[in-house]
Amino acid sequence: MDNFQHPTHQPVGKKVAILGGNRIPFARSNGQYSNVSNSEMLTAALNGLVERYNLQDKRLGEVVAGAVIKLSRDINLTRECVLSTALSPQTPAYDVSQACGTGLQAAFAVSNKIALGLIDSGIAGGVDTTSDAPLGIGDGLRKALLKLNNAKTNKDRLQALLSINPKDLIDAPQNGEPRTKLSMGDHQAITALEWAITREAQDEFTFNSHKNLARAYDEGFFDDLITPFKGLTRDNNLRPDISLEKLASLKPVFGKKNANPTMTAGNSTPLTDGASCVLLGTDEWAAANGLKPLAYLTYQETAAVDFTGKKGVKEGLLMAPAYAVPRMLERAGLTLQDFDYYEIHEAFASQVLSTLAAWEDESFCKERLGLDKPLGAIDRSKLNVNGSSLAAGHPFAATGGRILASTAKLLDQKGSGRALISICAAGGQGVVAILEK
């Protein structure tokens, strides 16, 4: 195994190169992709990657992807999608799922095998649609149908049918944490109050996300990162003409029972459909296939917080990245200021701002993180420089691939440097990584 010599404390192992990425434009739910399945979207993203990097008939080490919201027909989703592409059918594939961290976690799964020398190449990805969300039969109806199936006599069959309650016909998906029944937005509204995140700061952050994404599209940054799909060439949540006045006019939609609700549909990420994928490999595999590394995935960390207060101090649902990043920085021998770019997933404007505030707060860093001093502030001009989820949208499992590919390209354009990636996820989890060039 060749050692990756680096000024930081880089683990020994194969270097893991990010060689490229592809996604379809993201679309607001119940819109352009309302009749499109997870399988169709992920296959389209994979096909675009295969075509762009001439992967036809190639047997890769593996393909790992997943979806947060899956129908029963999505069983073995990633493998079925691989079989619908021009990749060699001998390329193995499997699914993973970790809420909004799924896409980045899929990349970890592939990169870890590459680092260990088990495979030399792979694709990581993710897909989600809330337009095609599953509707299960209600538990009462399910039990009645089981009784009907096991009935031996007509009397037993009749009793089974009569036991059906119309209220039990459908088990609709719930938009909330199973343990608290609160939506992610309502959870974050509590955190926004705890950190005194103002409405004005959230709207300004949102405004910048749209303006940065629009500029990046106009500059052609996404030309080799996106495959047009179903008539879309850009994310249709993007509002190039957005204004602070328009954002200020929107009414709060989360935390409306709180004293000072600040979170609106504008400064929160909308439900979105889409898919993304990223090509990973060793330097040797890249050279053999005529590809160049854009950047290297060097560090990773996954954390979780006690958002229910089960074992002590209750933490905000989406604050796990605030804990994951300092752990990763310690292993890497870096400070929070040692980065050229910061790519922080914008689940809500207030989530990003709460995390940044926590890193600057002395008591949080000492009492919660066990540090001697605050991690400190970052240079905001380096944060989400080409926009992020507030503008592009957030198809849960697809966000990691979008961020990973875009960040790698940023570092490649710069020619050198380091980037921090951070993604919060449902269940009080956070997934973070470091890319280096």
Residues annotated catalytic, as ranges: 100, 394, 424
Query: What is the DSSP track for 32-69?
Result: TTTT--HHHHHHHHHHHHHHHTT-TT---SEEEE--SS
- On whether the CB atoms of residues 46 and 229 are closer than 8 A, the answer is no
268 closest CA partner among 356, 425, 175, 389: 389
93 SS3 class: strand
Q: Which two tokens stand for residue 31?
A: 């819109």
Q: H/E element holding 401?
A: helix 399-414
Beta strands in 366-436 (DSSP E): 418-425, 429-436
Helix (H) or strand (E) holding 94: strand 93-95
Helices and strands of the chain, counted as H and E runs: 14, 14
**What burial class does residue 223 get, using C-beta atoms within 10 Å of its C-beta: 0-12 exposed, 13-18 middle, 19+ buried?**
exposed
354 φ, ψ (degrees, to nearest 5) = -65, -40
List CB contacts of 148: < 8 A, sequence separation 6 or more: 157, 160, 161
By the 10 Å C-beta count (0-12 exposed, 13-18 middle, 19+ buried), 108 is classed as buried
Contact residues for 144 (Cβ-Cβ < 8 A; gap 6+): 160, 161, 163, 164, 168
Separation of alpha carbons 51 and 48, rounded Å: 5
| Residue whose C-alpha is closest to residue 90's, from 55, 53, 141, 52 | 55
DSSP string, 174-210: --S-TTT---HHHHHHHHHHHTT--HHHHHHHHHHHH
Please give the backbone phi and psi of residue 65, each rounded to the nearest 5 degrees, phi first.
-155, 180
Q: What are phi and psi of 271, to 5 degrees?
A: -65, 135
Distance CA 24, CA 236 (A): 11
- What's the CA angle centered on 375, arms 266 and 3, to 5 degrees? 105
